[in-house]
Structure 1
Amino acid sequence: MSEKKYRVIQWATGTVGSAALKHFIHNPVIDLVGVYVTNPEKVGKDAGDIVDLPKTGVLATDDIEKIMVMEADAVLFAPFQNPDNLGHICRLLASGKNVISPAGPFLPNKWLPDETKRIEEACAEGNSSFHGCGVHPGYSGDILPITLLRLCDRIDSIEVSEVIDKVRNPMIYTEMAGFGLDPEALLANPRRSPETYKHFYSSLDMLAKALGKEIEEVTVKFEVATALKDIKHLFGEIKKGTVGGQHYEWTAWCEGAPLIVYHFYWQLGDSAEDIDPLWEEGESCYRVRIKGDPGLEVRLMGDKAEDGRNPFHGLPWTGLAGATAVQAVCDAKPGVVSHIDLGLIQPKGLVRR
């Protein structure tokens, strides 16, 4: 039986976009037809060369208008945050292309009415679908815990934690995130706004609704850890006595009690000799803890690497969570489609001997 093929454009080829691009090149049910890049050094390169794979015959372009008129079923939209992103998404949708976006916005979301309205109008114009997705939000904080609910008789609360050692898993925006600053200064002016939880609200709300509940309010907590020594990382060094760790906590309350808690533990190092306090020991992971009867815990991390440790694949997972949803979004009804609308996604083309 022949499998339906989907014509796909990859928009942006950073770490997230490159993971998706590799998938599209390998997947036999995907026909890669276009690649949009912003790096001048990538313009004109074959898509395969960008990700160290054999040539595909598809050349990267930085011409947005060329992408807009290209015939395609879907666009995997994965640029850095940019004020122009929403406009580009709406143009793509209005041109008849379905959009799967790890860059957000993550819908449906009551806190994003203007974005929702513009995207819905563009979907109606192009008879297309939009799906915001990623690993968090988009997987570890919604799909993963929802699938675990069937193993429980009673749920008291659910905690989802993102635990990342930023030395072993470096990020280019370490200093931008506030590491290396005076702890009191960062506490007074967090680099991640207290309103950030609103961009994750679709996941919180989806999980609450899966339990038949409505969120009454979300409370926010922020604390920092101090570096106990100078700590080098891939992109620089932070000094002893400055911010070496950050913990964000968002709690969704239902019926007067905390029901869902999202934790973000970002640490430079994984030892009590590195920072104080060290909130989380062990390797980077996504973790779901369900308190109830029976309680359970699941950790999501990469398989063992050559050094014997488990790598953290947060950014590649973000790209793949979107790439493997392309087929389902293309086949979905027009408009904004959530994980609930898509049902249990069954991606084709993953088994390749």
Structure 2
Amino acid sequence: MAGKTYRVIQWATGTVGKVAIRHFAENPTYELVGTLVTNPKKVGKDAGEIAKIGPIGVIATDDVEAIVALEADAVHFAPSVHDLDMVCRLLRSGKNVVCPVGPFFPWERWKPDFDKLAAACADGGTSFHGSGIHPGFAGDLLPLTVARIMNRIDHIHLYETIDHLANPSNYIEFMGFGRESADLLANPGRSPEAPYMFAQSMEIVAKGLGLTIDDVTAKFDVATAVRDIDYGRGVVKQGTVAGQHYEWTGWADGKPLITYHCFWTMGDENIEPRWNAGVSGYRIRIEGDPPMEVTMARPAAAEGVQYLGLPWTAMAGVNVIPAVCDAAPGIVTHFELGVPTLRGLFRPD
């Protein structure tokens, strides 16, 4: 299968979609045959121009029927708002689907969604994989990989740190930066379902250790701005929320097995209390024998350390498309993927 070319469709062209398009254009393993956009201003544009690499001969469309009718091996399905019914339709049309927004693992709370996906895979003779980055790679596959060289595990901690001042995004307003502390603590920007979405990754880790997640507990703390913070589109006023720390813990056998710490700030130097959460990226810390720590972050550059979560999210899915296409029909989790062969990555400049 080493020389096989996979015909792919990119569904949605936000940051994740653009990264995927650039890779499809550069990697001879793939042939991009279609691009679905939701922004009317992008309709009729060349996908390469949308991804800022120049024309590649694939014209973006918002015609869902035309995309569904295309012959393709796989769809990299990366919209900002998930659509499980559309994923199922694509699967039934004979296309394998890799989806950065999951679902990721058939933990009990998500069983109805996986039942729908499994039925669609059976009807289409296709496979589905939820990739992501967190949930996804950083929160499950990476801890399990590190655990392989441990003698004993007491407690696994995963830290996601994002400086939204250095890495502006639409999440600044959506997550409630700039709101009063009491208001945000009472009405968090993240959905009450968020801990259970992340619990899918926790259950992957638990299964890999021969356990199961019995309960998930949550904590939420905020920090306030010590000065007005101008982030381009607006200002986070002094005294309002400029830092958020979500902490979710998965319990197994009555003890904490894995804790996810999500630190989102408008610059650590701009908040009180200062959390000193480290550079933007992911850090795994395992309490046990021997103690273990692994950091996943971009090396410092002239413009400072930036968060690469969205490019990583794209590549976590794109790189396993061949393995998902070649897998037996059905749900493909990390356990079914095993150690996939990564095709076309070695392309020295």
- TM-score per shorter chain, which class? over 0.9
Residue 323 (structure 1) aligns with: 318
Cα separation, 1, equivalents of 2:2 and 2:262: 44
Cα separation, 1, equivalents of 2:281 and 2:171: 20
Cα separation, 1, equivalents of 2:248 and 2:277: 21
Residue 40 (structure 2) aligns with: 40
Matched, 1:19 2:43: no
Contact 1:163 1:280 in 2 (8 A): no
Cα separation, 2, equivalents of 1:63 and 1:100: 20
Contact 1:172 1:235 in 2 (8 A): no
Residue 334 (structure 1) aligns with: 329
The 5 A counterparts of 1:129-144 are 129-144=127-142
Deviations 1:168-222, CA, capped at 9 Å, x for gaps: 0111131221111110111111121333111122210010111111211111111
CA drift at 1:156:
0.5
Matched, 1:243 2:238: no
CA drift at 1:282:
3.1
TM-score for both structures, normalised by structure 1: 0.95
Cα separation, 2, equivalents of 1:43 and 1:195: 34
Note closer, same or farther for the CA distance 1:123–1:225 as it changes in structure 2 (3 Å cut).
same
Unaligned runs of 5+ in 1: none
Contact 2:7 2:32 in 1 (8 A): yes
CA drift at 1:317:
0.8
Matched, 1:291 2:287: yes
SS of the counterpart of 2:219?
Answer: strand
CA drift at 1:55:
2.1
SS of the counterpart of 2:243?
Answer: strand
Q: RMSD in angstroms over aligned alpha carbons?
A: 1.4
Cα separation, 2, equivalents of 1:165 and 1:295: 27
Residue 346 (structure 2) aligns with: 351
Matched, 1:303 2:299: yes
CA drift at 1:281:
4.1
Deviations 1:119-157, CA, capped at 9 Å, x for gaps: 111111100000111111111111111110122111111
Contact 1:7 1:33 in 2 (8 A): yes
The 5 A counterparts of 1:270-285 are 270-271=268-269, 274-285=270-281
CA drift at 1:107:
2.7
- In structure 2, what residue type is equivalent to 1:296? M
CA drift at 1:63:
0.2
TM-score for both structures, normalised by structure 2: 0.97
Number of equivalent positions = 348
- In structure 1, what residue type is equivalent to 2:18? S
The 5 A counterparts of 1:1-353 are 3-82=3-82, 85-271=83-269, 274-307=270-303, 309-353=304-348
**Bigger shift: 99-108 or 59-68?**
99-108
Unaligned runs of 5+ in 2: none
Contact 2:100 2:131 in 1 (8 A): yes
Note closer, same or farther for the CA distance 1:193–1:42 as it changes in structure 2 (3 Å cut).
closer
Contact 2:165 2:231 in 1 (8 A): yes
- In structure 2, what residue type is equivalent to 1:46? D
Contact 2:263 2:277 in 1 (8 A): no
Cα separation, 2, equivalents of 1:311 and 1:189: 29
Note closer, same or farther for the CA distance 1:284–1:255 as it changes in structure 2 (3 Å cut).
same
SS of the counterpart of 1:203?
Answer: helix
Contact 1:167 1:234 in 2 (8 A): no
Contact 1:108 1:336 in 2 (8 A): no
CA drift at 1:306:
2.4
**Bigger shift: 94-103 or 53-62?**
53-62
SS of the counterpart of 2:138?
Answer: coil
Cα separation, 2, equivalents of 1:329 and 1:95: 16
Cα separation, 2, equivalents of 1:34 and 1:171: 27
- In structure 1, what residue type is equivalent to 2:125? N
**Bigger shift: 63-72 or 254-263?**
254-263
Cα separation, 2, equivalents of 1:123 and 1:281: 42
